[in-house]
Copies of this chain bind each other. A is one copy, B any other.
């Protein structure tokens, strides 16, 4: 459950319809929705613009399917990974599986989830409504995951679970803005998942700071795998 299973960039298999969706998802994720024209999509698919309309009635139909596939992907991956642990696994492990799966789908599995996260706020309200149900379903899954962890006493009782969910998903979703896959195949995403899980569960505060004299050293991240550009 670590390295990318698919190249995460090139189309997956036969069928023009699938080819179009794969390329559209990639372009939407890389450039945005309005910044990707039907001519662009047709271009990278090796066909003329009009041919797209044999497979899809409109640009909105394409983006709707891309968005829905995106939620479906991350949703299935997450529940698959968590269910794999069995229902009586420690809450901390279940949370880590969920975080790892979400990041894996977002950054490695394919371009659909990343496209969803990046362009959802930039499509028409019509399209947004058409994919809201799936999104709401996935969010509900997270609500229950955290509620379950809290019910088991694994989360401090003064924690606002709604806020925890929103901030945690925010930290994860924002990775699409700065994460660049490494040239080599080293797995950076699982490292992010581990770090985030630890930070969320245990925090970063040091209660017993600075033993006298020989001051402790903060680990220096040698050659960060994630290339940051924005704040």
Contact indicator B150/A226 (Cβ below 8 Å): no
The contact string, 1 if C-beta is below 8 Å from chain B, for chain A 165-187, is 01111111111011000000000
**In the assembled complex, which residues on chain B have CB atoms less than 8 Å from the CB atom of A177?**
121, 170, 173
Residue A142 lies at the interface, judged by CB distance under 8 Å to chain B: yes
Q: Which A residues have a C-beta under 8 Å from some C-beta of B?
A: 32-35, 71, 92, 118, 120-122, 132, 135, 138-139, 142, 147, 150-164, 166-175, 177-178, 192, 195-196, 199-206, 209-210, 215-219, 221, 224, 226, 228-231
Interface residue from B153, B175, B201 paired with A166 (Cβ < 8 Å): B175
A46 to B52 alpha-carbon distance, docked (Å):
40
Contact indicator B170/A221 (Cβ below 8 Å): no
State the Cβ distance, A80 to closest chain B Cβ, in Å.
17
Chain B residue at minimum C-beta to C-beta distance from A208: B153
Contact indicator A163/B34 (Cβ below 8 Å): no
State the Cβ distance, A144 to closest chain B Cβ, in Å.
13
A156 to B204 alpha-carbon distance, docked (Å):
6
Contact indicator B209/A205 (Cβ below 8 Å): no
Contact indicator B204/A153 (Cβ below 8 Å): no
**In the assembled complex, which residues on chain B have CB atoms less than 8 Å from the CB atom of A92?**
205
Chain B residue at minimum C-beta to C-beta distance from A31: B122
Contact indicator A32/B230 (Cβ below 8 Å): no
With A32-B122, A209-B153 known as contacts, the answer to whether A219 contacts B158 (CB < 8 A) is yes
Q: What would be 15 A-B contacts, judged by CB atoms less than 8 Å apart?
A: A34-B34, A34-B122, A118-B121, A153-B216, A159-B219, A162-B226, A163-B221, A164-B204, A167-B171, A167-B175, A167-B192, A170-B171, A170-B174, A173-B177, A200-B203
Interface residue from B138, B155, B199, B200 paired with A206 (Cβ < 8 Å): B155
Chain B residue at minimum C-beta to C-beta distance from A224: B162
State the Cβ distance, A181 to closest chain B Cβ, in Å.
15
A224 to B164 alpha-carbon distance, docked (Å):
12
Task: Tell which of A171, A204, A215, A218 has the most Cβ of chain B within 10 Å.
Answer: A204
Contact indicator A199/B203 (Cβ below 8 Å): yes
